[in-house]
Amino acid sequence: LQKAAEQLKPSAPIKFHISSRTDSGVHALANAAHLDIQRAPGKAPFTGLQLLQGLNHHLKPQPIRILRAQRVSSTFHARFCALSRTYIYRLLLGCAHRSQIPVFEQDLCWAPPGGPLDIPAMRAAAQLLLGTHDFSTFRSPRAEAAAQSPVRTLQLLQLQPGHGLLGQHHLHRGLEFWEVKVKSKSFLYRQVRRMVGALVAVGQGRLAPAQLRELLELRDPRALPPHATAPPEGLFLHSVEY
């Protein structure tokens, strides 16, 4: 996006800021960003429509599109002014093998092995994570992640039936989608993927809901095994609210 903006021939270096960064392999249905762009003397400022069309032209063939552009005040910041961010994690249940994942769903969901999940147990565990906590256990164990304050407030964490990208009719019998929807003002690095991995462990019977609370209270990222982190392809940044 930075390179696309530079193709619009600004008169000064572009200052570009995005609301949320994602891991490699994670998707975004919608994200927000702001940029400061100046045109050469004598040229009128870009309108929102001109900026949208110009950026989309130079973004081809990248898998990203600008949906809306508008002028904002000089005090607006795409990252720091966000009130909340909502993520969706897509789970596909009933797959005995990866070959059963529909072709259009490849790399867009996670099909945990081991049979059906105990959804009521996962919902009970999710309730234990709601609210304000020290989420150190669910942050990345990488040293640089420790620089962030581990205290976060989960406004929403729920499991709900999902659907395939082409509707349910194309799924094999016995396959079904579920979505983990989570909302907070901000998240720790890999927090969502690690929480989803722990919830799936609860659904598989490898972890009791009460044990999830115990892990939370340990406040130690090493308490959660590395393999408990859900893979990135099932995660989507759904929306950013201002």
- Known catalytic residues are 23
In whole angstroms, give the CA distance from residue 223 to residue 240.
31
Q: CA 237 → CA 142, 193, 227, 228, distances in Å?
A: 22, 12, 22, 20
Q: CA 144 → CA 140, 141, 147, distances in Å?
A: 9, 9, 6
In whole angstroms, give the CA distance from residue 95 to residue 81.
41
Give DSSP secondary structure letters for 80-133.
TT--EEEEEEEEEE--SSGGGS-GGGTTSSB--SSS---HHHHHHHHHHH-EEE
- DSSP H or E stretch at residue 27: strand 27-28
Phi, psi dihedrals of residue 78, rounded to the nearest 5°: -60, -35
Name the amino acid, one letter, at 93. L
**11 and 39 Cβ atoms separated by less than 8 Å:** yes
In whole angstroms, give the CA distance from residue 131 to residue 109.
27
89 assigned binding-site residue: no
Binding positions:
87
Which residues participate in the annotated binding site for substrate?
Answer: 87
